[in-house]
Structure 1
């Protein structure tokens, strides 16, 4: 498909049809003629929309030039950007060649780091790819070595320094030395295989985080106005906008001043909590238009004060709600243990914060903090979310290269996880929250009478405080200010 005799014309409609296909399994293979960037002749690019089982829908593209032999492939994600970014830390010991065969999905927004070498592959250096740990390292070394002969002619010192670095990098790629492999993706669409799944991998740590404004902008989340301008707009709007429900409260205060009992009742009871529901302007995370966010502070019995926030966008219809803990940071962590014995236990309300880990000892299942984010659900809903999360995260569960024994292991685990909801035998649910912001509701009027539910407080370790960012908090200035205020009052 040529246009003007020298430029390729890609059949865009075919590519769009591939991306838009509902059934990725039966999606056809599309071929288009495109120009080779090495020799300038025409080669063939093949597109295939496929679904990596229990991971995500991806668009695979492969180019092949019959004239010069140039070949390359790329992975692009056809799904949505995840709510939070993800960061994988994997410790690779020397001599362990099995670690290098782990499959890695690297999106176009992900970066790869090896701290021991002070080495980083930025997102623009390697595009989205489906490879292994060894494949990524070898490719990086080959690309660095490609222009070494030209560098030696122009800048011998730089070429010599790169040669020394390549020796270290290839030592890592051949398992001669230990190193740390870090995969950081603000879009949350990257992945490193866990061969021990669904059990945790002792060498692999996964962290989920909120994106910074710069990362949001790089992913295309922000519109043309700068965030600073939007922040200034939001500040001025907050100053001139009355909180939602405060109209009724203001009228009630006026009625109290005028001693009009009829108007007091009419105005104050127009809203269930007239001064507690507030509305302030914000920016839609989907279309970047101005929208409204409502915030409500309430106290959950036997638990603590929480902040409920809900956002709605009239432009695109986006809706989002989340629950945040209120009050001060607890001095101790909390471990909640529930013995699930009957159907009523499955309907217990559960608040799982984004700092809580989940354990089910009967399945040898342990989810690190942040895996499911902060959710408000029931015991049954939590088990279902765990199942969905495992199927999404462990993307290569039923790939073509998976052995029959591992496949049977996964099928058996999913069957055991489903049986939890049938209550064929009692099981235990444990929420371990370093910030004590999680909760499981009792079924009795007095929480002390619920013998199936136990709460245990514990002292956080230095590592837990460091992971939560508590070791970096400096309150000396605030403490000094409070002391001076108390002294002045005295």
Structure 2
């Protein structure tokens, strides 16, 4: 099998981060799995610019020449899984140079070829789309001579498949590249960053119990109520995008910081708090959850829940929408002119998109997840998220023109907070679960704040899982109870 060549683990780091030359390289003696002699493995902990910490390892055997490299993540598992969809057109060879970070828990799929690379087939790697496809074709080709002797028919079919895979790698065929990572630590480069990439879509999702267990979380057996509820939800309807039919009950935001409590407790009194027993999601020890219901002025009723585990120290805060799913979507916009506007409270749900037209910024729903913050805090979160997600932005492999483009955009984003010129913040939420606080007691007197309701399109309802939602049985039961 042809191994991926690497001369020095330092050279890999320098190719993505020209400024990180001070990190020490650790060297250990390791067993070569090809010749069973001792070789050398070099380790380097580094930070990919605007992505996250990774551990690079490179093995080299002086006896047989075996070489390989691997990427492992030194940071935390992300709160939600991520799924990247990239549509490649025939003849678009340049787009195949997109950088790809594949973690050890990620799966790669090409539906048109019915091709899948499971997590165990390719370990964590730092490559490009073209490099991943060529590596897969080389690994399939490695044992073809032996297959032809044992099963010529299967070997011939694999030869035909390898040709199709190489056609995709050469840019001669249209295909869809899907990178699905339950840990949320994989990444596909957007070459148009910070602008939106028409070929790339990112979906964030809640992990299943099986995926939680795969990542090493402690997962107990499902309760009977969970099984029956899941069966009822899945019996008549399939998945509907990243939000699903339970979108109306999904958390608007999750946070562990005091900022969350400080922002929300302005609207409620502490004596309204209720306490009930629950189980810690980290260590499965019994703990307490505090909950209270409050009505945010000019917004809606919300349910606030907070849990603290004395055994392991795990803390979690959650804000959920109360009441029924709104019949209309809502677009909220505010003109930011002074420092008072930067301090406006903001609730951004995970179904809301964020638009700042002055700098041509548009973030699709789900990009930042949910957030309870201020206008200033939201802009800061956007800046941090763009720097983290759009990795390789300042790497040596990036063209100078693209680097200057990104630096200019980041400067314009940060400049918004200096308030040199008025700018507009727009949040478009199909479920109307987002909110910007007025700057005065009566919202009608706030001339800078605009709230617009609109009818959701069929496509929006389909993505939210509302087109197939049937509540007739529940309505009949509710009406019979009330009538009796």
Same fold (TM over 0.5): yes
In the TM superposition, residue 374 of structure 1 has moved relative to its aligned partner by 1.1
Output the TM-score relative to the length of structure 2.
0.83
Aligned to 1:294: 290
In the TM superposition, residue 471 of structure 1 has moved relative to its aligned partner by 2.9
Aligned to 1:284: 281
In the TM superposition, residue 300 of structure 1 has moved relative to its aligned partner by 0.8
SS in 2 for 1:435: coil
Q: 2:318 aligns with which of 322, 326, 332?
A: 322
Aligned to 1:64: 60
Distance 1:434 1:144, change over 3 A: same
Q: 1:102-251 counterparts in 2 under 5 A?
A: 102-222=98-218, 226-228=221-223
In the TM superposition, residue 432 of structure 1 has moved relative to its aligned partner by 0.7
SS in 1 for 2:421: coil
Are the aligned partners of 1:53 and 1:395 in contact in 2 as well (CA < 8 Å)? yes
Aligned to 1:457: 453
Distance 1:33 1:276, change over 3 A: closer
Rounded to whole Å, the distance in 2 between the matches of 1:28 and 1:468 is 49
In the TM superposition, residue 82 of structure 1 has moved relative to its aligned partner by 0.8
SS in 2 for 1:444: coil
Q: 2:389 aligns with which of 393, 406, 417?
A: 393
Q: 1:346 aligns with which of 323, 326, 342?
A: 342
Unpaired segments of 5 or more residues in structure 1? Answer: 1-22, 233-270
Q: 1:100 aligns with which of 88, 96, 103?
A: 96
Rounded to whole Å, the distance in 1 between the matches of 2:419 and 2:68 is 51
SS in 2 for 1:354: coil
SS in 2 for 1:464: helix
SS in 2 for 1:100: helix
Write the deviation string for residues 208-230 of structure 1: whole angstroms up to 9, x where unpaired.
Answer: 1111111110000116x545599
Aligned to 2:354: 358
In the TM superposition, residue 45 of structure 1 has moved relative to its aligned partner by 1.2
SS in 1 for 2:397: coil
Rounded to whole Å, the distance in 2 between the matches of 1:288 and 1:127 is 30
Are the aligned partners of 1:221 and 1:288 in contact in 2 as well (CA < 8 Å)? no
Are the aligned partners of 1:101 and 1:132 in contact in 2 as well (CA < 8 Å)? yes
Q: How many residues align?
A: 426
Aligned to 2:372: 376
Rounded to whole Å, the distance in 2 between the matches of 1:272 and 1:324 is 18
SS in 1 for 2:28: strand
Write the deviation string for residues 11-42 of structure 1: whole angstroms up to 9, x where unpaired.
Answer: xxxxxxxxxxxx97522112222111112122
Within the alignment, does 1:413 sit opposite 2:435 as a pair?
A: no
Write the deviation string for residues 112-168 of structure 1: whole angstroms up to 9, x where unpaired.
Answer: 111111211111111000000001111111112222222222223322322232222
SS in 1 for 2:347: strand
Distance 1:483 1:151, change over 3 A: farther
Runs of 4+ in 1 over 6 A off after TM superposition: 229-232
Rounded to whole Å, the distance in 2 between the matches of 1:108 and 1:230 is 34
Distance 1:311 1:230, change over 3 A: farther
SS in 1 for 2:367: coil
Deviates more, 1:359-368 or 1:455-464: 455-464
Within the alignment, does 1:437 sit opposite 2:433 as a pair?
A: yes
Rounded to whole Å, the distance in 1 between the matches of 2:165 and 2:401 is 35
SS in 2 for 1:162: helix
Q: 2:299 aligns with which of 297, 303, 318?
A: 303
Write the deviation string for residues 427-450 of structure 1: whole angstroms up to 9, x where unpaired.
Answer: 000001111000001112221221
Distance 1:97 1:346, change over 3 A: same
Aligned to 2:260: none
Rounded to whole Å, the distance in 2 between the matches of 1:49 and 1:274 is 49
Unpaired segments of 5 or more residues in structure 2? Answer: 1-18, 228-267
Aligned to 1:427: 423
In the TM superposition, residue 459 of structure 1 has moved relative to its aligned partner by 1.8
Distance 1:316 1:482, change over 3 A: closer
Distance 1:273 1:423, change over 3 A: closer
Distance 1:405 1:276, change over 3 A: same
In the TM superposition, residue 272 of structure 1 has moved relative to its aligned partner by 5.1
Aligned to 1:477: 473
